[in-house]
């Protein structure tokens, strides 16, 4: 458990044991800290359990393993998960200006990845830039993903619950609240931020009875609040499909499989769940009645966390991530896209198609499909959240990331995930990512400073305004103020528009990914 370290290595003494970190460029860094018991053996597909602690000094110089996942190279990010992978993955990492009694604001990062990829151990999510630039304590969290995090086993299993990912994240937040003061953080001033699936997680944590009091602010980057949350019956059909793909007859057979076989079966699940014009997602968060009682969007709109400050936004062309570099969709026809509109909007599908087409004259079929799925999963439900909170006179700040990458001859647009190198202001760590090809250094620097400093300001004060931005007003229904992040940032209004807002009750929000 213990290992030798340099004399200047920072030490933190906690009730669960002592940690030895690393001194790195003016920060104290602690990696691979276990926040829950390893979910292995009998604890596979069980809610997270407390970690028993350790004797002596635990070396915290290296990241823990990432959750098991495919780890493929993709044409947009260039990969979103790197080995080692292991089921024993419930660890977190801390960056702090000093393990002292300064009680700094705390930023907790929850990664996304379509519920099947990503890790708190990825260098792209290192918290050093925020810790150093904002005098913050930053924590990144790894949790169970894919089949190990999202599968529901039902009454056939004695742990009749789902959403193991959510129990992991709740355990991490409890650990942070209990221990972060020893790292120089303020347990009463915590912001949870996430992107994509991590933003959905943040929303779910905000409305969970055990999560509400654990943080005061939330940053939701591209939350897929339009994603369908299956009930128990639907979730069991997914479990049955996984059993068929994996070649096992029952839950006992799944439990006996090595995690490598579960990951291999996940690849097959992409094919099982695939539908034309849909963002492929083999596993989804579910409404199981215990860990998640209803969709987080509905719960937030019902006022289940009225004291939460929210910074919310998305990229202009979210679905460019799923379709822009895919040659099959480059051949999409207008007839196929019109049919997809009818799936989304039912009887108003033709009307919706004409509204979208009028908003982008001369658009290709692929561009209209990208607009539809971007609205369906992100913008329409996100706007509904902003509208609902504003009507309740609750603080919400809205943004849209408008900068289109020149990569792939511009076909990606301002795609999903593209804002991440800017918010973290760490584009040098994204050299593997094809979606940054051709972006000019001055844009990386200028737009990065604008977004990064806004996030820091929000974490510190609840207000994202800073000297490098135009005045950013709170979102209200009269003004619909929206910060537009691009090569030149500007204060805008209403990124959706009245015509599309009028469609939001016609079937798009809440559609299956």
Among 75-84, 116-125, 176-185, the minimum mean pLDDT is found in: 75-84
* pTM value surpassing 0.85: yes
pLDDT score recorded for residue 509: 42
- Residues β-bridged to residue 453: none
Fold equal for 1-49+62-307 and 319-513: yes
| Closest alpha carbon to 130 in 122, 140, 120, 121 | 140
- Residues β-bridged to residue 399: 313, 483
pLDDT over threshold 80, residue 61: yes
Q: Is 416 one of the catalytic residues?
A: yes
In whole angstroms, give the CA distance from residue 157 to residue 136: 43
Give the number of C-alpha atoms closer than 13 A to the C-alpha of residue 392, restricted to the C-beta side.
18
Q: If DSSP codes are grouped into helix, strand and coil, which group holds residue 378?
A: helix
DSSP state of 62: S
Mean pLDDT of the chain: 94
Distant-in-sequence, close-in-space partners of 374: CB < 8 Å, separation ≥ 6: 314, 315, 316, 317, 318, 319, 320
Q: Tell which phi-psi region holds residue 480, choosing left (phi > 0), alpha (psi between -120 and 50) or beta.
A: left
Q: Identify the band that residue 502 occupies on the pLDDT scale cut at 50, 70 and 90.
A: confident
In whole angstroms, give the CA distance from residue 95 to residue 108: 11
Q: Identify the band that residue 3 occupies on the pLDDT scale cut at 50, 70 and 90.
A: very low
pLDDT score recorded for residue 4: 42
CATH level 3 topology of 319-513: Rossmann fold (3.40.50)
Distant-in-sequence, close-in-space partners of 481: CB < 8 Å, separation ≥ 6: 398, 472, 473, 474, 475, 491, 492, 493
Among 73-87, 154-168, 487-501, the minimum mean pLDDT is found in: 154-168
Domain locations in the chain as residue ranges: 1-49+62-307, 319-513
pLDDT score recorded for residue 161: 76
- Any idea which residue has 């301002």 for tokens? 414
pLDDT, tens digit (0-9, with 9 covering 90-100), for 168-191 = 999 999 999 999 999 999 999 999
Active-site pick, 66, 119, 140, 196: 196
Active-site pick, 80, 111, 228, 416: 416
Q: Is 342 one of the catalytic residues?
A: no
Q: Identify the band that residue 7 occupies on the pLDDT scale cut at 50, 70 and 90.
A: low
297 φ, ψ to 5°? -60, -45
Among 33-42, 155-164, 176-185, 225-234, the minimum mean pLDDT is found in: 155-164
CA 316 to chain centre: 17
pLDDT, tens digit (0-9, with 9 covering 90-100), for 121-170 = 999 999 999 999 999 999 999 999 999 999 999 865 545 578 999 999 99
Distant-in-sequence, close-in-space partners of 283: CB < 8 Å, separation ≥ 6: 115, 116, 146, 147, 149, 150, 151, 238, 266, 269
Q: Is 318 one of the catalytic residues?
A: yes
Among 69-83, 208-222, 250-264, 359-373, the minimum mean pLDDT is found in: 69-83
pLDDT, tens digit (0-9, with 9 covering 90-100), for 379-425 = 999 999 999 999 999 999 999 999 999 999 999 999 999 999 999 99
pLDDT score recorded for residue 505: 62
Residue pair 437/325 in contact (Cβ under 8 Å)? The answer is no
pLDDT, tens digit (0-9, with 9 covering 90-100), for 334-380 = 999 999 999 999 999 999 999 999 999 999 999 999 999 999 999 99
Neighbouring C-beta atoms of residue 393, cutoff 10 Å? 8
Distant-in-sequence, close-in-space partners of 449: CB < 8 Å, separation ≥ 6: 425, 468
pLDDT score recorded for residue 511: 41
Active-site pick, 318, 343, 367, 375: 318
220 φ, ψ to 5°? -110, 100
- Report the share of the chain in percent with pLDDT over 70: 96
pLDDT score recorded for residue 72: 78
Distant-in-sequence, close-in-space partners of 244: CB < 8 Å, separation ≥ 6: none
More confident: 302 or 73: 302
pLDDT score recorded for residue 19: 98
In whole angstroms, give the CA distance from residue 63 to residue 122: 9
Q: What is the pLDDT averaged over residues 213-236?
A: 96
- Report the share of the chain in percent with pLDDT over 90: 91
**CATH 2.60.40.3670 is right for the domain spanning 1-49+62-307:** no
pLDDT score recorded for residue 156: 55
pLDDT score recorded for residue 307: 92
């Amino acid at each position: 458990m213990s290992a030798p370290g340099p004399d200047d290595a920072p030490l933190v003494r906690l009730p669960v044991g002592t940690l030895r970190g690393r001194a790195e460029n003016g920060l104290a860094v602690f990696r691979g800290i276990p926040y829950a018991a390893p979910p292995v053996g009998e604890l596979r597909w069980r809610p997270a359990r407390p970690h028993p602690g350790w004797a002596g000094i635990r070396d915290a110089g290296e990241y823990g393993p990432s959750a098991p996942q495919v780890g493929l190279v993709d044409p947009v990010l260039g990969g979103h998960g790197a080995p080692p992978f292991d089921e024993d993955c419930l660890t977190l990492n801390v960056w702090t200006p000093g393990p002292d009694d300064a009680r700094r604001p705390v930023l907790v990062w929850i990664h996304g990845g379509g519920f099947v990829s990503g890790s708190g151990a990825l260098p792209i999510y290192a918290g050093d830039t925020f810790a150093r630039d904002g005098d913050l304590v930053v924590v990144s969290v790894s949790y169970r993903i894919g089949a190990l995090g999202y599968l529901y086993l039902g009454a056939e299993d004695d742990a009749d619950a789902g959403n193991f990912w959510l129990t992991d994240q709740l355990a991490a937040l409890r650990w942070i609240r209990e221990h972060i003061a020893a790292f120089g953080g303020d347990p009463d001033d915590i912001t949870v931020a996430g992107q994509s699936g991590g933003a959905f997680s943040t929303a779910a944590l905000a409305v969970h009875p055990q999560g509400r009091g654990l943080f005061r602010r939330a940053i939701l980057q591209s939350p897929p609040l339009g994603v369908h949350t299956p009930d128990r019956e639907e979730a069991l059909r997914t479990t049955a499909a996984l059993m068929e793909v994996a070649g096992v007859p029952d839950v006992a057979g799944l439990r006996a499989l090595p995690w490598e076989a579960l990951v291999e079966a996940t690849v097959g699940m992409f094919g099982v769940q695939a539908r034309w014009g849909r963002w492929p997602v083999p596993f989804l968060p579910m409404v199981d009645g215990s860990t998640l009682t209803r969709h987080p969007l509905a719960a937030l709109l019902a006022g289940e966390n009225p004291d939460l400050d929210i910074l919310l936004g998305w990229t202009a062309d979210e679905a460019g991530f799923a379709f822009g570099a895919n040659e099959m969709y480059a051949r999409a026809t207008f007839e196929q896209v019109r049919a997809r509109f009818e799936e989304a909007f039912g009887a108003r599908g033709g009307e919706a198609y004409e509204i979208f087409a009028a908003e982008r004259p001369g658009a290709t079929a692929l561009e209209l499909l990208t607009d539809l799925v971007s609205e369906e999963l992100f913008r329409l439900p996100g706007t509904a959240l902003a509208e609902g909170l504003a009507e309740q006179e609750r603080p919400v700040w809205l943004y849209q990331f408008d900068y289109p990458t020149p990569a792939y001859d511009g076909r990606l647009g301002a795609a999903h995930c593209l804002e991440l190198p800017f918010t973290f202001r760490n584009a040098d760590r994204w050299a593997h990512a094809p979606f940054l090809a051709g972006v000019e250094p001055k844009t990386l620097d200028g737009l990065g400073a604008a977004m990064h400093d806004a996030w820091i300001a929000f974490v510190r004060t609840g207000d994202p305004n800073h000297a490098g931005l135009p005045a950013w007003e709170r979102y209200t229904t009269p003004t619909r103020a929206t910060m537009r992040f691009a090569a030149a940032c500007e204060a805008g209004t209403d990124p959706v528009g009245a015509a599309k807002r009028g469609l939001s009750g016609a079937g798009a929000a809440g559609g299956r990914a």
